[in-house]
Structure formats: C-alpha cells, structure tokens
A and B are shown apart, each in its own frame.
Chain A
Amino acid sequence: MPNIICCFKWVVDEAYIKPSSSGKIDLEWAEYKLSDYDRNAIEEAVQLQEKYGGSVTAVTVASSDATKGIKDALSRGPEKAYFINDDQFENLEPSQTSAILAKVIGDQIDYDLIICGEGSSDMYSQQVGPRLAEKLGIPCIAFVNQLTIEDNRIIAERKTDDGLEVISAPLPALVTVLPDINSPRVPGLKDTLAASKKPVIEIDLEDLGSEYERLLIDEGLRAASMERNCSRFGAGPEDIKAFVEAVRKTGVIDRG
C-alpha cells in the first residue's frame, strides 16, 4: 500500500492582480488560494489512496502566512500535513523550495510516490517537482495525465510535444500532474471541520540546520501590458462592413 506525498503551494490569486497606473504590481488587496495545479496533485493522491490504500501526506514550504493553505489542503483529503514554515521562506525560488522539500522528505517522511502539480499558478516555473526528484535521486515523470501503480512500479501516461508516452518507473518515484488528470473535489463544511482536527507537523529553518541561498535574483517586476487600442464596432450591417474593411486593410488576410 503506497505512502503518497503531495506537495502544494499557497499563492496569490492572480485574479486580484491589477496593474496600477505606474506599471507596478499592487498585491495589497490580493487574496490567496491553493495553487490550481496542486489541487489536481492532492486529488490524484487521494484517488490513488482510495484505490490502493496507504496514506496521503500533504507538504508545503512557506512563510507562516500560509496557515490557511494547510487547512484548505487537508480539507481535500490528506490525513496529515508537514508545514515547513519560517519568516525567511517568503518568495523562495525553485532551487530553494526543492532543496528544503528534499531535506524534510528525505529525512522524515516514508514515501513511495510524490505528486506535484505541473507548476504553480503564480510563478509557473515548473521546476520544483523535477528538481525535488533529482535531489532525492528518484525517477521523475513530468506532465502526467494518467497514473496507475502495478507491482511496485508506476505506470504513467505523460504528454509530450509529439503526443503521449506511457512510462514505467520503479517506486519510489515523483510525478508532476496536468490539470486534465482529474477534477478536484470541492471540500464541504464537513471536510473543512475534519481538516482542523488533522495533525500538522511544523518545521522551521532552525530545525533544518542548513542555509538555503537564493540563486535566482529578482531584478524587477512590472505589470505586463497587453493593452491595445481597440477600435469598437456595433452589430449593425454597416458596422460589420466597416469592421471587415478595417481588418482587410491591415493586410493579414490573403484573399479578398
């Protein structure tokens, strides 16, 4: 029966990000959420447990602000969580996050399978899963949309630019999952209540006993302007004619 770890991140909800007039990003009013693809990672872990038994442990690295995220993750089915948190864990970059996860998972958690989302919905660097696998020295299968476990091996169907590959790898292994692998459940009130009773193991930087240097240096952040100067047309016949005329004039249509 597999012991499964699912990793998650508590992120700024990008729907709340509005560029200010100065081109700066204002996060003061931002709401937070469980990163979209990590919901699929947790759901997949829970579905595999329903099928094969075993256990599901949720793990995150964050500053203490992510306390709400622990409850959110646990309300989706895992039976316990590791909350690796420290005030210095604000805005970690992927090499730091993966090294910290590897340290805790390698030293403290029994596992057969680790499931991560394909990327986080804030940074979307898509690095933490593959890096974590390397740090732990286990096989990595990224961009998976179907998973089964057979004879102590994982069979995963993963997306490639040419189509699909079915990969078999010995456990323990790590997979990163795509959003189409499942439809994450929406936790009910009962699940939320149950989540507050589940064990949470807290670990801080001092417990880890090492330093994690930042290698990816922030040099600036600005709002991405995708604004264009939109010429507006109505729906009447003359408007349609004028619209088509305007588009033709740009020369992007071969014929006509």
Chain B
Amino acid sequence: MSGVWIYADKYEQGVELLTAGRGVADMLGMKLTALVSGDNNIAQDFIARGADEVLLLPPLTESQPVQDYVPLMADEARDADPDVFLIAASLKGKEMAARIAARLDTALCSECSAMNIDEKGKLQMERLMYGGAAIQTVSISSRPQMATIPPRSYEAAPVQSDRQGNIKTLESPEPSGMQVMERKGKAQASGDITAARIIVCAGRGIENQEDLAMVRELAEVLGGEVACTRPISEEKHWMTEESCIGLSAKEVKPALYLGIGVSGQIQHVVGIREAGIICAVNSDENAPIFESADYGITGDLYQIVPALIEEFKK
C-alpha cells in the first residue's frame, strides 16, 4: 500500500501538516492519511481540509502521556506501509517521531526545513546542522520516509466543500507504565514571542537587569514583544526561557526584529533567520549580528535606545 501519513499532537500543527502532506501526496499521486486524536467532528474537519482518510486515536486517560500512542501508531504504520510519514516537530512530536522510526527501523529527517521530490519520487529534505552554520540535504533509503516539520512552516489547510473520506477509529492504547502526575501551564508573564510581529531582543550588551526597562519601553512603543538571548535567560536569569530565541530555544518569524546589545552568535541567529527585517544595535562594529542584519547602528546602546524611543514615538 502506498500513501502519505501525517500526525501532530496539536490541532494547529495538524492543519499545517495537512497542507504539507496534501502537497506531497498530490505530487506522488497518493492518498493522504491523517492520524488525529479527538472525536468525529475533528476527523470530519481534517477530511474537509484535505485528508482522504483519518485514523482516529481514541482518548487517553488523564494520567496517560500522549507518547502512549507510539506503539499503536508504529503498528498501524507497519501494517499500512505508507511511503511518507510526516510528524509535527513539537517537543512531544520530535520524541514520538524518533521512537516510531526506531520501531519501524527507518530513518528520520529531524526538523526538515525544505522538501522536494526528485524524479524517482523520493523526498530530498533539507535541515540545519552545526548550530545553523550549514544546511544538509538528506534522503531516506528505508520505508516510510519520515520527517518532523517545524511548527508554522506551512499555512493551515483551508476547509473545502464536498470532500469525502473514510474515518477509522483505532483501539485504545495500552497503558505504558508511565504516568503523568501533574501538568503545569506556562507562566504567562509576557506574550508569546513566536507569534509576535515585532520583537525587541535584549542581549549580553545590557549591563544591569534594571536596564531591561528601556528595552521593554522600546518594545512597547513599537507595539512588540521583548525577547532575549541565552545568556540573559540562562546565565543571568533576568528573563524566562520562554523569551529566549535560538537553537534549543524559540525560533521566531517576526516582521521586524531589533537586537539590542546582541552579538549574533550563530545559535541565536539561527532562531531569527526567518525574520522580515533584522535590525541591530551594538557597540562593536565587528559584531557578527551586523552580517545578518538589514539595518545596523554602531554605538552605545545606553545612548541609542532612549533616542530610538523618542524617535519612534514621533
């Protein structure tokens, strides 16, 4: 049997993967199957948005982690033998994809940033390595060809009228012995930087915690959110990890990014490479951030930030 499969542990990423999966399925002339946890309404929604078939994952008990679906999903994939299996690269999704790939004895392209189909109908996939310094292209010689897809890589698939599809409800997964004892939401001290249109980012050039106030004021004037580099969250603990941009932290896609005292280490820059306009303020004219910026100001941020606040207010 042939086909393209998708799975996301969250609805928003699921409908993005419908766009990705539909594209691949159409190019290969194959059926698109979505693994979905939820009820019949959600299954119908996935069909309306492009799935030909939905495999409905039954609800878990309160103490079961979503990873308990792994053996079930791997067994289903082994039976159906799809050509391609795409999974959303959420934290849970990345773990589940690696475990499913291990069970199926196949390879997995982690956090695939671009995907093409070659003349033999095989996926050619790109991903970043060396902390973002290089782009690797890979293909997979085993079945299924698996990849995880970062959130917001694709638009959500729109609802289309008159689409039909099959819904098959799977058996409830066996408890694994792993128990969720507690779930804690995020401390929502500030907005979500991954959704922000404008980001002002505080870097190591900020000398004192109090000085973050002027960075916040600049963000406020611009109608944006404040983010930071790893030293600010991890070494100084001035801001939470939720605000940190970079590899193993958040990747952001704002229309405008303004780095204040950000030197531009590759691990940070990789997290802003999708930004529309990148601006930087730094006292070191050789700071690497300027190589990745569209507009840069060289000088003392303590003088420049107040001047920017005044000027942007006008």
Instruction: Give the docked Cα–Cα distance between A231 and B295 (Å).
Output: 5
Decide if B90 touches A155 in the complex (CB within 8 Å): no
Q: Is A229 an interface residue, CB under 8 A from the partner?
A: yes
Given contacts A17-B133, A131-B98, A139-B176, 7 further A-B contacts (CB under 8 A): A95-B105, A125-B108, A164-B184, A167-B180, A217-B138, A226-B291, A252-B277
Show 20 A/B contacts (Cβ-Cβ < 8 Å), sorted by A: A94-B110, A124-B131, A127-B98, A130-B95, A134-B102, A134-B103, A135-B102, A166-B182, A215-B106, A215-B141, A217-B140, A220-B137, A226-B132, A227-B291, A227-B292, A230-B295, A235-B297, A235-B298, A244-B308, A250-B277
Chain B residue contacts of A243, Cβ below 8 A: 279, 295, 297, 308
Among the 9-residue stretches A50-58, A64-72, A114-122, the one with 4 or more Cβ atoms under 8 Å from chain B is A114-122
Instruction: Give the docked Cα–Cα distance between A125 and B130 (Å).
Output: 11
Chain A residue contacts of B105, Cβ below 8 A: 95, 215
A36 vs chain B, min Cβ distance (A): 9
Evaluate whether A160 and B198 lie within 8 angstroms (CB atoms) in the complex, with A165-B183, A228-B294 already known: no
Decide if B98 touches A126 in the complex (CB within 8 Å): yes
Chain A residue contacts of B108, Cβ below 8 A: 94-95, 125, 127, 216
Most A Cβ at <10 Å: residue of B91, B241, B290, B300: B91
Which residue of chain A lies nearest to B288 when distances are taken between CB atoms in the complex?
A: A226
Interface size on B, as a range, is: 35 or more
Decide if A239 touches B177 in the complex (CB within 8 Å): no
Which residue of chain B lies nearest to A255 when distances are taken between CB atoms in the complex?
A: B223
Per DSSP, are chain A's interface residues mostly helix, strand or loop, or mixed? mixed
Evaluate whether A139 and B277 lie within 8 angstroms (CB atoms) in the complex, with A131-B102, A159-B91, A232-B290 already known: no
Evaluate whether A215 and B185 lie within 8 angstroms (CB atoms) in the complex, with A139-B177, A226-B269 already known: no
Decide if B133 touches A25 in the complex (CB within 8 Å): yes
Chain B residue contacts of A139, Cβ below 8 A: 176-178
Per DSSP, are chain B's interface residues mostly helix, strand or loop, or mixed? mixed
Decide if B290 touches A230 in the complex (CB within 8 Å): yes
Which residue of chain A lies nearest to B13 when distances are taken between CB atoms in the complex?
A: A161
Chain B residue contacts of A168, Cβ below 8 A: 178-179, 181
Q: Is A219 an interface residue, CB under 8 A from the partner?
A: yes
Q: Is A107 an interface residue, CB under 8 A from the partner?
A: no
A182 vs chain B, min Cβ distance (A): 12
Q: Is A100 an interface residue, CB under 8 A from the partner?
A: no
Chain A residue contacts of B128, Cβ below 8 A: 124, 224
4 cross-chain pairs, A with B, having the tightest CB-CB distances, nearest first: A235-B299, A215-B107, A216-B107, A134-B102
Instruction: Give the docked Cα–Cα distance between A86 and B180 (Å).
Output: 41
Decide if B92 touches A161 in the complex (CB within 8 Å): yes
Which residue of chain B lies nearest to A128 when distances are taken between CB atoms in the complex?
A: B98
User: A12's contact among B130, B280, B312, by CB below 8 Å, is which?
Assistant: B130
B236 vs chain A, min Cβ distance (A): 13
User: B223's contact among A155, A178, A215, A254, by CB below 8 Å, is which?
Assistant: A254
